[in-house]
Amino acid sequence: GKGGIGKSTTTQNLVAALAEAGQKVMIVGCDPKADSTRLILHAKAQTTVMHLAAESGSVEDLELEDVMAIGYGGVRCVESGGPEPGVGCAGRGVITAINFLEEEGAYDDDLDFVFYDVLGDVVCGGFAMP
């Protein structure tokens, strides 16, 4: 959907309601602005997978605990990050982050729901993978 119409706010409110209902939920922010988890974490912006990978040298140098924060109601929060809007390919950052989460076993726990809050722009490479 179009930017600024409330996708992230709606997602975070739905995630919070599910957590209050006792569901185990993870939210993965897939927008370079890294604002998909702000309400859940009561914070400005979570440090992104891509930022942490750049600081450490590569995504392989990260641990799951480095990129995942626990927010309201026990919601697990991750922000993929990526280039500034309009510069570079946001899709690559998202794919890198999702692959990292899979490799580190982030989805192995007994999660009831995983939400991916994606940006509204057309992304080079898209989000579909073979």
Please identify every residue annotated as catalytic.
2, 7, 33, 121
> Bridge partners of 3?
none
How far is the C-alpha of 35 from the C-alpha of 31, rounded, in Å?
7
**What residues contact 33, with CB distance under 8 A and at least 6 apart?**
85, 119
In terms of phi and psi (left: phi > 0; alpha: psi -120 to 50; beta: otherwise), the region of 116 is beta
In terms of phi and psi (left: phi > 0; alpha: psi -120 to 50; beta: otherwise), the region of 120 is alpha
Cα distances from 83 to residues 19, 57, 121, in angstroms, run 31, 16, 13
